[in-house]
Amino acid sequence: MILNDPESRKVSLASGLSADVLVKGRGAPLLFLHPAQGRVWSPFLDSLAQTHTVYVPLTPGADEPDELMSFDAFSDLALFYDDLLRALSVDDAVVIGHAFGGMAAAEFAAHCPDRVSALILIGAMGLWFDEMPVADVHTTHPTELAGLLFTDPDSEAARSVLQKPTPQDRLAYQLVMGASCHFYWPVPDRDLKRRLYRITAPTLLIWGDADRVVPPAYADAFARGIREARKVLVHGAGHFPHLERSAEVIGSITSFLGESVPEFAAAR
């Protein structure tokens, strides 16, 4: 139904850059940062939009790669999101990030702790152990990619993320992966570990217990480094637990926010 589609906004930032943001819902602001596979609107985001104003910015450079010249590191990306919240007149927001988006969300929370009221990391990249390398989705054979990312490669969730029927879809997919890789190629470790202590927001770590891209042991590493963190393992889910077990993950998020964010509890 067309009324249910998110609104697409071009938000001008003080830096001169602009952000391409999908917006939907009413309530406290919530920023969702998408993975390298791209920004796909989902029933999961619809659920969040019932209680929040959900903002989903496209990773800078994902439409026009020339913009990436303005970004040398995650500090630049953190300033981009800081500028975005300022432009939206948002003081602080619940920030959810998935995979590469999780890495970006954790960096944002570490760089600008006052901007983040609660942090939710789903299968987040950003930490690194040589003995347990984060999988390289960019050098996985296309026929094996769905099986790496999802427990059920034939599921609707897998199709919604990976099916690219038109050349335009495939171009957009190349572009968004290219923009994401700009920040973490070839080893997704940019010393976030050193900055985790700066994250003050209450943090929820959501991991598929069958995540083969960022193994669940990384959730424990995040939990050890972040001041106030708790972990939820989603049984039978892979790297996209919020799409594979949407209702369960929404349940976890709702109860976490109810306990952690006073305004959210009051609003309910």
Residues found near other proteins in the complex (CB under 8 A): 36, 61, 64-65, 68-69, 138-142, 167-168, 170-171, 174-175, 177-182, 185-187
C-beta closer to other proteins: residue 164 or 230: 164
CA distance 238 to 244: 8
Cβ of residue 177: shortest distance to other proteins, in angstroms? 3
Residue spans of alpha helices (H) in the chain: 43-49, 74-87, 100-111, 142-149, 156-162, 167-184, 192-195, 217-225, 241-244, 246-260, 262-267
- Dmax over CA atoms of the chain, in Å, equals 48
Structure-token match 């067309």, residue found: 2
| Cβ atoms of residues 102 and 124 within 8 Å | yes
C-beta closer to other proteins: residue 147 or 216: 147
| Cβ atoms of residues 253 and 226 within 8 Å | no
CA distance 176 to 20: 13
- Give, in order, the Cα–Cα distances in Å from 28 to each of 5, 220, 221, 259: 19, 29, 29, 15
C-beta closer to other proteins: residue 92 or 107: 107
Structure-token match 């059920």, residue found: 152
Cβ of residue 67: shortest distance to other proteins, in angstroms? 10
Cβ of residue 237: shortest distance to other proteins, in angstroms? 25
C-beta closer to other proteins: residue 103 or 201: 103
Report CA Rg, the chain.
17
C-beta closer to other proteins: residue 16 or 186: 186
Cβ of residue 178: shortest distance to other proteins, in angstroms? 3
Cβ of residue 142: shortest distance to other proteins, in angstroms? 7
C-beta closer to other proteins: residue 23 or 172: 172
CA distance 230 to 215: 17
Cβ of residue 185: shortest distance to other proteins, in angstroms? 5
Q: Of 236, 212, 234, 101, which is closest to residue 148 (Cα–Cα)?
A: 212
Cβ of residue 170: shortest distance to other proteins, in angstroms? 6
C-beta closer to other proteins: residue 179 or 229: 179
